[in-house]
Structure formats: C-alpha cells, structure tokens
Amino acid sequence: MREEVAYIAYHFHWPLAEVLRLEHGERRVWVEEIAKINRAANRPAR
C-alpha cells in the first residue's frame, strides 16, 4: 500500500490524506493510469 500511495502522491501531487481515502481498487486504477502516462511519455519519438 505504501508503494501505491507514494506513487500516486508523487506523480499527481495529491495530499497523503486524499490518497489514503481511496479504496484499494481505486488506487490500483490510478496507479495503472499513471503507468500508462509514463509509458507514453517515455516512448521514443518517431
């Protein structure tokens, strides 16, 4: 859980209390969305 919370808080700059209020499933959804953003941003330019 700490890893999820840190990941979301770091990337979206959300306060700890706000991230902790999310249900586990909702945190996992946000973690995956952040991962998609990171993959797209790190994709080589064509």
pLDDT of residue 39 exceeding 90: yes
| Tens-place pLDDT, residues 4-37 | 999 999 999 999 999 999 999 999 999 999 999 9
Do 27 and 20 meet the contact criterion of CB atoms below 8 Å apart?
no
28: left (phi over 0), alpha (psi -120 to 50) or beta: alpha
Name the nearest CA neighbour of 27 among 3, 2, 5: 5
Local confidence band at 45 (pLDDT 50, 70, 90 cut-offs): confident
Tell me: pLDDT of 46 over 80: no
Q: How confident is the model at residue 44 (pLDDT cuts 50, 70, 90)?
A: confident
- Domain limits, the chain: 2-42
